[in-house]
Amino acid sequence: MIVFGGLLVAAGIVVAVVLGGDAGGWLLPVGLIAAGIGMGIAGVVARIRRRIPLLAAVRAHRAAPVRSPKAQLRALPGMLRATARGQNPALPRYQLALWALALVYLVSPIDFIPDFLPLLGIGDDIGVGTWLLTSLYAESGNYVAANEPEPEPGSQR
């Protein structure tokens, strides 16, 4: 992904230099460069995530029963506080930084792909917002599953 991202950036630069804005305008080079930067960042994040051992939270999420969305929403502030204090062993602190970075990206006026481009500009915001919401939802479900009291023997859930 990193190499392909670099190739897209290089192609965008070559197209910008060769065409010089005469034919095709500026949309193609900017689109290629933005796509290349996005692909490169995604590749770097994927490489870093591969080097981190599989967390117990992922295994717990796959095995845990489905929790109510209300319970997960109510658990969200507690999960964020526990993670910030280092009391949530299933979730590393850098995940908070990633969530904060995603939130800043969503509210900031600076984007990799400008919002005035039709359909393309809002796409990066939709992708970041979708990742942020699904990640928070999944991790809050893991937090609820890990912190709910054990059922008493003989009782059903």
**CA nearest to 44, candidates 8, 91, 5:** 5
Q: What is the pLDDT of residues 114-134, one digit of tens each?
A: 766 666 677 777 788 888 888
User: Percentage of residues in the chain with pLDDT exceeding 70?
Assistant: 73
The pLDDT of residue 85 is above 80? yes
Q: What is the pLDDT of residues 34-66, one digit of tens each?
A: 888 888 887 787 777 666 655 555 655 555 556
User: Residue ranges per domain, the chain?
Assistant: 1-51, 55-148
Q: What is the dihedral of CA 92, 148, 75, 134, to 10 degrees?
A: 60
